[in-house]
Amino acid sequence: MSWRYKWSSLHIIRKTQILKSRSLRHFSSSSTQNNYFHSNQAFDHMVSVVVRLSNRYMTVRAIVRELESVGLVIKAHTFLLLLRIYWRGGMYSMVFETFEQMGRFGFEPNTFAHNVVMDVLFKIGQVDTGIKILKEMKSPNFLSYNIALTNLCKLNDLVKVKKALRIMLSKGYYPNVETFEMVLNCCCKLGRLVEACQLLAMMITVGISLSVSAWSILIDWLCRLNQPNMAFHLMERMVDSSCSPNVVTYTTLFKGFIESKMILRAFGILTAMQSKDGLIISGKCYKAVSLFRRAIEENYQLDAVSYTVAICGLVKSGRTA
């Protein structure tokens, strides 16, 4: 290889690196403009840019120096942007390095930076360290607790879910409906209905309106535990709280009573469904009831699936029995 060809190749490589550095510089500068926010697609593009820069310069410190060399004034925002890009790209070791270098350059990591590090700690299995970050965070926000609860629910670690909830409540934050449903579902999946009911009571006490989905989760799991009567009483409590059951709620209860061989109670659910506007096409409930009664009178052995499929088919299609 001639020295001229070698020099030309190195020149092209260096030019390419400068272009990527300038691309990141422009991305960083534009994100500081008022009322301007980069799209997720833009961040996805920058992941590939930063990956190449990381492969070339190896360390966050070297990348920051390269950005300085192409005219970027290094600020706390520079590190926050790198944190988000590395986080989005799943480059977790670089997330930790960026967080460390942020302090070494004289910038104090803010709540967003701590949230990112905490999320990564949970994702790599460092749960205790993640909880420690949450406890020691100077200014946690709702997202801080939501990140912790989301990750802990995915890990089915109910002990630490309860710990994170206690920390959250002690700081004056309360789960929103979506977070509550997630924790409730975690409790139910683990068969911890006592904790689920305690959580339900707490949410009602603090005045948070529960969604139909939240109530239905508990009703479903009570039916799975062969406790349809308790599930029915819970539905009554649901109605008392001004939350109307939907088709899913009624179908779950219907199936629960059928599986417990409480046929008359199941018919009671059908009657309740009929009384709710819009839940069943007019007149079809009577045909469904007639179908099941005829089956019972003629001693047909229908299982729960048969009942459920039949009623759902009648309700959805409007076909006659």
Chain centroid to CA 266: 34
Q: What is the pLDDT of residues 239-257, one digit of tens each?
A: 887 888 887 888 888 888 8
Distance CA 219, CA 249 (A): 7
Closest CA to 147 of 167, 138, 309: 167
Q: What percent of the chain has pLDDT over 70?
A: 70
pLDDT above 60: residue 48: yes
Q: What is the pLDDT of residues 113-158, one digit of tens each?
A: 999 999 999 999 999 999 999 998 988 999 999 999 999 999 999 8
pLDDT above 60: residue 46: yes
Contact 281, 318 (CB under 8 A): yes
Distance CA 168, CA 233 (A): 30
> What residues contact residue 236 under an 8 Å CB cut-off, 6+ apart?
none
Chain centroid to CA 151: 9
pTM above 0.85? no
> What residues contact residue 281 under an 8 Å CB cut-off, 6+ apart?
315, 318
What residue spans define the domains of the chain?
15-109, 125-207, 209-320
Contact 185, 217 (CB under 8 A): yes
